[in-house]
Amino acid sequence: MLRISTIPHLMKIVGKIDLKPVIETLKEVDIFDNGKAATEQLNKEKIGILGMEVLTAITPQLGKIADDIVPLVAAYKNMSIEEAENLDALEVIGEIAKDEAIIGFFKSALRKKAAPGA
């Protein structure tokens, strides 16, 4: 669920992430062939390689958002900062990563940020 209280935290995180390395990585990977859509021609191996390259491009930036993670989790779970600090990180990350509303928010915000002139 995308709570009103999570939006400022999500915006802060999106604002801190530099998409240039990710965009450059995606530009280097040829995902189109003869006009076919990427989903039609990417096999599991190519998707895995692409995912790892994108992850490698963005991982060095995770330190930029370290201070934003606990407040985001607290807002997302509707609990105090102290309670959020004691949650299992992998469980919470997995829950947030599966939340369609959060995913949709990030996709939209990052697309806008990646757009030329943004």
Structure confidence at residue 58 (pLDDT): 79
Note the pLDDT tens digit of each residue in 73-112: 999 999 999 999 999 998 998 898 888 898 888 888 877 8
| Residue among 104, 21, 55 at smallest CA distance from 112 | 104
Per-residue pLDDT band for 113 (boundaries 50, 70, 90) equals: confident
The domain tally of the chain equals 1
| Residue 10, domain extent | 4-114
Query: What is the separation of C-alpha 61 from the centre of its chain, rounded to a whole number of angstroms?
Result: 12
pLDDT single digits (tens) 46-78: 767 777 777 787 788 889 999 999 999 999 999
Two structure tokens written together for 47: 């998707």
Give the separation between CA 35 and CA 67, rounded to whole angstroms.
43
Q: What is the reported pLDDT for 36?
A: 54
